[in-house]
Amino acid sequence: MLSTTLFAAVGATVGATVAATSHSLQDGGGAAAATSAAVPAPTFVRRDLVVDGQPVRTRCGSPLKNYILEVNGSGVVLGDFDGSGSVDLVVVSGSTIERAEAGEPGDAARLFLNDGAAHFGAAPEAFALTPGRWGMGGTAGDLDNDGHLDLVVTNWGADQVFLNAGGTGFRDATEGSGLNGKRWGTSAALLDHDLDGNLDLVVVNYLSFRRDEISSRESGECKWKGLPVMCGPEGLTAVHDQLYRGNGDGTFSDVTSEAGFRPENAGFGLGVTTLDYDGDGDTDVYVTNDSTPNFLWENQGDGTFLEVGFRRGVDLDSNGKEQAGMGIACGDVNEDGLPDLFVTNFSGENNALYQSRASKTGRAPRFSDRSHSAGVGGPSMQLLGWGTGMFDVELDGDLDLFVLNGHVYPQADSPGTDTTYAQPDQLFVNNGDGIFDERSLSSGPDLVSRGGAFADLDGDGDIDVVATQVEGAIQIHENTTANENRWIAFVLDVEGGNRDGLGARVEIAVGERRSAAEIRTSSGFQAAVPARAHFGLGRAERVDSVSVRLPDGRTRRFEGLAAGQVHRLVVPASAPDAANGATTGTEGGR
């Protein structure tokens, strides 16, 4: 159920960071909490995404993987595109080198509409998407501030913009959109970096690919563990990422250079997310790079960025070594009020958990690589991670995470490699202190997974996972964890631009415990999630208070909102100084 609440001021504003306590949501103080029994082990049931009797599959080159273009697979975008209140699914797909070189388009991205119970059907013809050269990933947001969810698809080739016509179909608005160049776009993120109310766009680019300039696996020039494999990314040319300022009408202006969003040396970009790492209210950007240092772009508050990955400790591993950064998850895993970063990496490298730690001098936080002490480093050494995300699997109040795995080399199945091409996907369950226990995400055969995203697909209040394979059907991992814990979720409806409140911080209080989340859509690898803050509550039947801080600095407080609902917080252009708004009913949401 989605309730609508007027965004009204109550009491004092909240600060940027509120320290967490050691109380659990199950046994926290106040009338909102109640003691709960032990929660059974988390369980997910995996199934193919089947539409019209056929599994939905993607394409990414040949099974032999002779070239690097053929190994990264494609991603997914989750959001409510028809205004029904349920989370729909866009599946991006690629092409083959032969089709691309013949000038033929690749596979079109496809929208599948959700009936509310995680049963997906093909969208009407009006939602058909124009094929690009070779689809990679994408993101979604209200680009023209009309209240409907629009779509960006990244490509090897021109990136694409599709505007939503009132929830009834898409219009291809790529021509004249201002997205320039034909690069290899991988992940993308939306944010309002300059606080003008219009959504801006970051497109992360990988490398320059021309088949006549890159040796094939068949040449035998590139080897891995003595086996001939595709070449790259080492020895190839990295391509700079791009920052586009949104004009509010679905078009963009390239401000990469004037905003300082261009380092001296480009990275092999694969993943991106947004966060306010330093708690100053504006939105920063984190980019993972393959075999080059990761970037942390600190928003300077004047429309420009400064790259601070090295000085904040999130560019390299704990040994000062570059890793093959793929996907990103972001959230507060140890409940100290600060966002932490999790990065998936190549086999033979551990996945990295960068935990934020506050500065005693009031300066911006630094991060420490706590991968091994947190229990996520060792279990990843023989696996190759891609899509990932943080959410509360058991609704007990702390953030867990999942990792989708699969090698880039089919040759990994050869004897003596100490790994395999298909690999198990992983679930890491938080013990409540930022230390994780490894589990399998779902039972069944190992997969060659790539992109993935998470949301409540079936409307039961817990979070499910969607995953792609480099070859194979799209997978739905349905959360079937049996417990009586409760949940609450929030979406924002902001008048005057940035309708979904991307970059806002939502903080709840249940007894003495505080939990916070940022509204973002960029997550994982080549993927996007709904703009929603979702919290597990243990046995609490309501939250004592909810505090929201918008990127423009406005802060508001609500009290006594019920569990078991998605609350829509309507933000007027000028929020009145009034008592807490009452729940007024239900309506569809983005």
The CATH number covering residue 563 comes to: 2.60.40
Pick the last residue of a domain from 460, 487, 514.
Answer: 487
Q: What is the pLDDT of residue 123?
A: 98
Q: Output 579 or 249, whichever has higher pLDDT.
A: 249
Q: Is the pLDDT of residue 585 over 50?
A: no
- Looking at the DSSP assignment, which residues form a beta bridge with residue 287? 272, 295
Residue 464 lies in a domain: yes
Percent of the chain with pLDDT over 70: 90
Percent of the chain with pLDDT over 90: 84
pLDDT-derived band at 208 (thresholds 50, 70, 90) equals very high
Q: What is the pLDDT of residue 28?
A: 39
Do residues 501 and 371 share a domain? Answer: no
Do residues 64 and 77 share a domain? Answer: yes
**Average pLDDT score over residue span 41-56:** 96
Do residues 86 and 107 share a domain? Answer: yes
Residue 238 lies in a domain: yes
Q: What is the pLDDT of residue 581?
A: 42
**Average pLDDT score over residue span 192-198:** 96
Residue 580 lies in a domain: no
pLDDT-derived band at 575 (thresholds 50, 70, 90) equals low
The 10s digit of each residue's pLDDT in 411-424 is 999 999 999 999 99
Q: Output 74 or 572, whichever has higher pLDDT.
A: 74
- Residue 450 near residue 386 (C-beta atoms within 8 A): yes
Q: Output 143 or 496, whichever has higher pLDDT.
A: 143
Q: What is the pLDDT of residue 39?
A: 64
- Residue 441 near residue 460 (C-beta atoms within 8 A): no
The 10s digit of each residue's pLDDT in 446-458 is 999 999 999 999 9
Q: What is the pLDDT of residue 130?
A: 98
Do residues 374 and 475 share a domain? Answer: yes
Do residues 498 and 478 share a domain? Answer: no
Give the CATH number, domain containing residue 316.
2.130.10.130
Structure tokens, 149:
């969810």
Q: Is the pLDDT of residue 364 over 50?
A: yes
CA distances from 28 to 32, 109, 251, 259, 454 (A): 8, 46, 48, 45, 28
The 10s digit of each residue's pLDDT in 101-134 is 999 999 999 999 999 999 999 999 999 999 999 9
Do residues 505 and 454 share a domain? Answer: no
Q: What is the pLDDT of residue 14?
A: 29
Do residues 504 and 400 share a domain? Answer: no
Q: Is the pLDDT of residue 294 over 60?
A: yes
Q: Is the pLDDT of residue 34 over 70?
A: no
Do residues 180 and 304 share a domain? Answer: yes
What's the total number of domains in the chain? 2
Residue 543 belongs to domain spanning:
488-571
Q: Is the pLDDT of residue 60 over 80?
A: yes
Element (H, E) at 100: helix 97-101
Do residues 190 and 204 share a domain? Answer: yes
Classify residue 576 as exposed, middle or buried by CB count within 10 Å of its CB (0-12, 13-18, 19+).
exposed
Do residues 421 and 521 share a domain? Answer: no
Greatest C-alpha distance within the chain:
71
CA distances from 581 to 121, 335, 555 (A): 37, 28, 15
Query: Residue 228: which residues within 8 A CB-CB, separation 6 or more?
Result: 217, 218, 219, 220, 222, 411
- Residue 156 near residue 69 (C-beta atoms within 8 A): yes
The pTM assigned to this predicted structure is: 0.92
Q: Output 183 or 39, whichever has higher pLDDT.
A: 183
Do residues 516 and 448 share a domain? Answer: no
Q: What is the pLDDT of residue 579?
A: 36
Q: Is the pLDDT of residue 33 over 90?
A: no
Structure tokens, 124:
């009407």
Do residues 368 and 433 share a domain? Answer: yes
pLDDT-derived band at 100 (thresholds 50, 70, 90) equals very high
Q: E strands, 127-268, where?
A: 135-141, 150-155, 160-164, 170-172, 185-191, 200-205, 223-224, 227-228, 242-246, 252-254
Q: What is the pLDDT of residue 453?
A: 98
Pick the last residue of a domain from 487, 513, 538.
Answer: 487
**Average pLDDT score over residue span 172-190:** 96
For residue 334, the one-letter residue type is: N
Average pLDDT, the chain: 90
Pick the last residue of a domain from 453, 487, 521.
Answer: 487
pLDDT-derived band at 306 (thresholds 50, 70, 90) equals very high
